[in-house]
Amino acid sequence: MSEKQFSDEVALVTGASRGIGAATAMALAEAGAHVILTARDAKALEEVEERIHQAGGTATIAPVDLAEPDGIARLASAVSQRWDKLDILVINAALLPQLGPVTDIDQQAFNKALTVNVLATQALLANFTPMMKKSGNARVIGLTSSVATAPRAFWGAYAATKAAFEVLLDCHAQETKNIAKLRVAIVNPGATRTQMRARAYPGEDPATLKGPEVVAARLVDLLGEQFESGHRESVNHS
């Protein structure tokens, strides 16, 4: 892959303050894209931005809480005032509710997960698709989980949100396939060394897991390929 493969492209990465999101943002910047970093934690975003700048890349931070009403609409308005198009949208941010039986799901926590994992996804697509249609080579990548299609006991709340997340992306892929130069892919990162993984599997040795940079490298490679809209894959190698 050419080092500056994505020169003149603008990418937006949600959940870019740490883990897979931060690693993906840095990899995209290294490949030449200008990366818009969004997450709730402004200080953490500034740290990622600084690392990108130190490596010779360019980035802009845009702190936003995806659960906040109209937060995504305000974000899209600000982005569209500065850039004419958006080439890449990586929907990485997600909320993991506490694991437990379906009968014990905390409604408030479940509602917040639905807001971040599902409603925010629809809002991102609704607000940024007009900018992406101006790209000529727009790509959306949504990060999912195996529990979306292979539900497991005690994962009901998260699995339900990720199943809905995938359906939204699949429908969007079909709806835009023949009317816009916009492609959609769904990627399951597999077991990766992240804070979310540590919360879900507190007894697991993180040294046995691949790092976020492995997933980021595959995402950047995929973004450089001519994949079919609706593409799905898993990143299970270490």
Residue-by-residue pLDDT tens, the chain, 238 positions: 345 899 999 999 999 999 999 999 999 999 999 999 999 999 999 999 999 999 999 999 999 999 998 999 999 999 999 999 999 999 999 999 999 999 999 999 999 999 999 999 999 999 999 999 999 999 999 999 999 999 999 999 999 999 999 999 999 999 999 888 999 999 999 999 999 999 999 999 999 999 999 999 999 999 999 999 999 999 986 4
pLDDT computed for residue 236 by the predictor = 82
pLDDT computed for residue 237 by the predictor = 62
The 3-state DSSP class for residue 7 equals: coil
> Is pTM beyond 0.85 here?
yes
The whole-angstrom distance between residue 148's C-alpha and the CA centroid of its chain comes to 16
Give me the residues paired with residue 58 across strands: 34
Superfamily per CATH, domain 10-234: NAD(P)-binding Rossmann-like Domain (3.40.50.720)
pLDDT computed for residue 17 by the predictor = 97
Cα separation of 214 and 24, whole Å?
9
CB 182 within 8 A of CB 129: yes
Annotated catalytic residue within 6, 110, 155, 158: 158
CB 5 within 8 A of CB 32: yes
pLDDT computed for residue 191 by the predictor = 92
**What are the residue boundaries of the structural domains of the chain, listed by start?**
10-234
pLDDT computed for residue 145 by the predictor = 97
pLDDT computed for residue 1 by the predictor = 39
Cα separation of 148 and 77, whole Å?
31
Cα separation of 66 and 112, whole Å?
10
pLDDT computed for residue 223 by the predictor = 97
Active-site residue flag, 201: no
Closest to 158 in 3D by CA, of 143, 170, 147:
147
pLDDT computed for residue 178 by the predictor = 86
pLDDT computed for residue 2 by the predictor = 45
CB 85 within 8 A of CB 76: no
CB burial string 152-187: b at 16+ within 10 A, e below = eeebbbbbbbbbbbbebbbebbeebeeebebbbbbb
